[in-house]
Chain A
Amino acid sequence: MNEACKPLVDRINAAVDSSDGRIAIMEVCGTHTVSLFRSGVRSVLPRGLKMVSGPGCPVCVTTQGYLDVACGLAGREDVIVATYGDMVRVPGTDTSLARQKALGARVEVVYSAREALKIAAANPTSETVFLAVGFETTSPATAATVMEADRAGVTNFSILGGHKYVIPALEALCSNGRTGISGFMLPGHVSAILGTEAYRPVVERFGVPCVVTGFEPRGMLEGIARVAEYVARGEARLDNAYPAVVRSSGNETALAWLAEVFVPCDEEWRALGMIEKSGLALRGEYRRFDAREKLGVQIVPGGEPEGCRCGEVIQGLIDPPECGLFGAGCTPEGPVGPCMVSSEGACAAWHKYGGAG
């Protein structure tokens, strides 16, 4: 291991030793799951430090019902579905967006909400529906795009709302009895929008140390070391190990956009069920961009594919290899659940970087 990292790993070792040899930290964000593997940080952590995956993978927490509605819309002659690439291969109940596309449906992979709006402009005789999925890192961009569409008087663009807030999910996990999670490594980019203070209620209510962390290997080791040390000392502290990017008040412009366009609503999460005020609904005059109202569709949560344990994975109750389908009936090429398909999915990361099964 290289020189600069040794002191960090030593700190983690010391903290684990003074905690009866075991500390479990939840890495909330899917990007952290991937980064921890890709950088090799996972492999240098002591055995007693367990990193547990969380619900911070937008595609993984989107219900089957949402996906089924999206596939149904794609099947309509006059609709173009614009979506982030990850959603395309997730299996719905009967089909997937990829399959619909292969059968002739117009499904366009986009890298931003803005691109979806451009597609609408280029296709005036079709309705372009953007699958608005993601947490605070992406919802402000959707808000900005809806405002732009409103200003320009666009009539053939709408969003199928699936954006969610991260903090209500954390609170739900903590309320459910945390399965031995001692602390949280908080998502760097979401926190850049929200600001660190947004997590204060979670820390105070549940008495868990939380550290906002970036994505570079040394930054992640620092974040983990701090959480471990607070756990060892019994300190429920809120800390920021990513000050270059994250401030206590967050990104006020982005938050203003969200407040202008969206209002919190009750939202269904895959496996976690209904979480109050965890979704983003279009407010006021922006409701004309709501695809459900415009196109007359309703989202019913839907079930889980048989044998799929994605729900337990995103709650940190099991590691992916504990699922019977992992690497056997469920692989990146032939996935059963979203966690194996999404680029931020825990199962995909374990499969790719941890050795199959």
Chain B
Amino acid sequence: MKDPKKKRDVIVAAHGGGGEMTKRLLESRILPGITNPALAPLTDGAVLDLPPGRLVVSTDAHVIRPIEFPGGDIGRLAVCGTVNDVAMMGARPLALALALVLEEGLDLAVLERIMRSVAESAEEAGVSIVTGDTKVVEKGHGDGIYITTTGVGVVAPGVSLDAARIRRGDVLIVNGSIAEHGLAIMAARERLGIQSSLKSDVAPLGGLVQRMLETRADVKFLRDPTRGGIAGVVADLAETTGLTVEVREADVPVSPNARHAAEALGLDPLTVANEGKLVAVVPQGDAERVLAACREFEHGRDAAVIGRLVEAELPLAELVTRIGGRRIIQRPSGAELPRIC
């Protein structure tokens, strides 16, 4: 006979009531692993002492499906996504606020796994979770778990990213192989029946960005190619600068697995989401230095120069294809793939 004590522990409505059950849920499943002096008092907010410099704040909601996927899960994504947004502003990420919306019926073992992942990712990224919130919604109204993270960081004095400084001749650098996150998610949505060893590239880039800035290279622009992929970033860059962005297909790092999966799915790797990549614009003379800085990191090993800014009548993003032909890189329409991050 089934032992009633062994039934699956799940989230129930009372967990969101703010009372004793909420407290117990926090203590047993949410706080372990992420607790720190700022968070411990569990007051309404966190007081932080920040180093000198300008404050950056960024926020993201995470609704990815499936919540656990090859290479990561929604917890890791929630930490790295916001850490990376802060880093793209040229700031050192310092702290995160974490809001959970849990659906009744969510397996507590799953919640624990996600929170462990949050804790590990936060440690890897060098950030603390300093405040948070937990709500519960009725079954059928929440799809398991949604996570919103808000991150703060500080731009050190003397650091200033400004796309207005971008000039003809500047080059574009990407820190490694593209398209892996989006393709791994598509493959994991098993309905496709494609066997794949693809893993999401989700990773925190705060350290890598700091290293790049430390080289004193003139880093003018940073953007993480999440939804919309590299195509979205270069299309934005062309619009912002009024120049033509020329990307060389042969120089863009794409792993053979990713290439095959993209072909099988009829997707252009340039349009697929990444969660551990950045695009940097630096003067050509600074490229070597920046590449060397990237290559000091696991997720910067395959860093490469993928293109450059050129003068043009019309601002557009253009791909020089493998055969030496040319075609436009358009900002993707957005219908390509839902719930990718």
Contacts and interface: CB of A to CB of B under 8 A. Distances in A.
Contact of A355 (B192, B249, B266, B316): B316
Interface in A172-189: none
Interface in A304-357: 332-333, 343, 351-356
Interface in B246-286: 249, 266, 268
B165 interface: no
29 contacts: A2-B322, A5-B323, A38-B268, A39-B321, A39-B327, A40-B249, A40-B323, A40-B324, A40-B326, A41-B323, A41-B325, A43-B326, A44-B323, A89-B335, A110-B191, A111-B191, A111-B192, A111-B193, A217-B321, A217-B323, A218-B323, A221-B323, A332-B335, A351-B330, A354-B328, A355-B314, A355-B316, A355-B328, A356-B330
Nearest to A354: B328
Nearest to B320: A40
A355 B336 CA distance: 20
Interface string B303-341: 000000000001010011111111110100111000000
A115 B325 contact: no
B325 A44 contact: yes
Chain B interface size range? 20 to 34
A40 B333 contact: no
B325 A43 contact: yes
Given A115-B191, A217-B323, A353-B327, 15 more contacts: A1-B323, A2-B324, A5-B323, A5-B324, A38-B268, A38-B327, A41-B323, A43-B325, A44-B323, A111-B192, A217-B325, A333-B333, A351-B330, A352-B330, A353-B330
Contacts of B316: 355
A286 interface: no
A37 interface: yes
Contacts of A353: 327-328, 330
A50 interface: no
A287 interface: no
Interface in A4-52: 4-5, 37-44
B328 A217 contact: no
Chain A interface size range? 20 to 34
A332 B325 contact: no
Contacts of B327: 37-40, 42-43, 353-354
A1 B323 CA distance: 6
Contact of A44 (B191, B324, B334): B324
Contacts of A110: 191
Contacts of A4: 323
Given A40-B320, A115-B191, A332-B333, A352 B328 contact: yes
B322 A39 contact: yes
A60 B204 CA distance: 43
The majority secondary structure among interface residues of chain A is helix
Contacts of A5: 323-324
Contacts of A221: 323
Contacts of B191: 110-111, 115
A38 B327 CA distance: 7
Contacts of B323: 1-2, 4-5, 39-41, 44, 217-218, 221
A42 to B, nearest CB: 7
A296 to B, nearest CB: 30
Given A40-B319, A351-B330, A352-B330, A1 B266 contact: no
Nearest to B330: A352
Nearest to B337: A85
Contacts of B324: 1-2, 5, 40, 44
A39 B330 CA distance: 14
A343 B337 CA distance: 13
B317 to A, nearest CB: 11
A40 B321 contact: yes
Contacts of A89: 335
B195 to A, nearest CB: 14
A252 to B, nearest CB: 24
A89 B266 CA distance: 18
A4 B250 CA distance: 15
A303 B269 CA distance: 37
Contacts of B319: 40
B340 to A, nearest CB: 15
A208 to B, nearest CB: 27
A32 to B, nearest CB: 13
A276 to B, nearest CB: 32
B139 to A, nearest CB: 18
A111 B319 CA distance: 29
> B320, B323, B327, B335 — which one has the most chain A CB atoms within 10 A of its CB?
B323
Nearest to B192: A111
